[in-house]
Amino acid sequence: MKITDLKTFVVGNPPPHFGGRYFVFLKLTTDSGIEGIGEVYAATFGPHTIARMVEDVFARHVQGMDPFRIETLWRNVYSRGFSQRPDISLMGVLSALETACWDIIGKEVNKPIYELLGGRVHDRLRSYTYLYPQPGDKTDVYEDPDLAAERAVEYADQGFTAVKFDPAGRFSSFDPRQPSLERMELSELFVKRLREALGTRADLLFGTHGQFTTSGAIRLARKIEPYDPLWFEEPVPPEMPEQMAEVARHTAIPIATGERLTTKYEFARVLRSGAASILQMALGRVGGLLEGKKIAGMAEAHYAQIAPHLYCGPVEGAANAQLAACTPNFLILESIQRWDGFHGEILKKPMVWEDGYVIPPDAPGLGIELDEEVAAANPYDDTELHLESVEHPL
């Protein structure tokens, strides 16, 4: 069996844009007619440029290859141009191609991917959601602790046992910085109000995006620590995990990180330094499913857990679920609410979410199929990137 064809899809994510402005999907087809899908999580260039990158890598390394040769594909793409180092854009492209190969392999042998990566160890996958705005909100749920507490209770009533929120302010091009007194006060009030509203019904996941200096993150951690969050996410930028380790040494809150990291090499540095005990690899960026499994294995040896990150489309989400299902040290899975809305519409059959848990599919491969008609009906024609930093913090 050989891979013969590639098709890319740059899909606009309609309002309210939960999960980002657009999704970049691809489809590989073999000479026997088996199709596999993948998703690129790359925000460093415009999505149509990313699609051209996919075409370049496909032509040089994928066309004509046996999809079972995952390790060979990985080494050839990782090493192209004599780079051999983590490249966030290239790894996003590789992740999608690698995932599509796994989808093909699963369909060829009629098994879900998790059965090929060690076998299922979790029948249900605990999930969490961000606190999202809703039509009719009179204030901003990201700025109003009381509304956020109400929204958190609504999600808990649906079955979620954890919610994530980020009241610490916008990330900017000139981070890291010290948190302002106003933002520290607001952050503490958010955690306090949510803990009062939820009690022990749900864990609190305090999100930041690497905005703070080491000392600033420690100051903020001390403010929120009395309310026992399950994690403090990416408190400092990702370049220096040794500095994140310093934060970890000064707080009892578990540190979570990984959405901006790629490959086993960057995660090894996180684990070696003691920077985090919860790893949030995004499988559309990190290097693919097998790379994610290797990272999970390293984490297991350090008594660390994985919590796959999702801020893109449902194809990466389905890959996250496949990895989580076969990983003993899986903690929790990020969901975009209940996998409904456009995340359900873009698939021929949406992911199954029940009472706070994602149910791993029994279908072969990823267990999902992209609805190409829906994809074609929602092209992305704008110029903004998936995520945009503000120039200066607000």
Helices 88-109, 289-301: axis angle to 10 degrees equals 100
Here the tokens at position 168 are 């610490």
> What angle do helix axes 263-273 and 289-301 make, rounded to 10 degrees?
20
Task: With both helix axes pointing from N to C terminus, report the angle between 181-198 and 214-224 in degrees, rounded to the nearest 10.
Answer: 30
Degrees, nearest 5: CA angle 231-199-306: 25
Burial of 118 (0-12, 13-18, 19+ CB in 10 A): middle
Largest CA distance in the chain: 62
Cis bond before residue 16 (omega within 30° of 0): yes
Question: Which of 109, 77, 194 shows the shortest CA–CA distance to 144?
Answer: 194
Structure tokens at 327: 């990983």
Q: Which residues are catalytic?
A: 209, 309
- Distance of alpha carbon 165 from alpha carbon 148, whole angstroms: 8
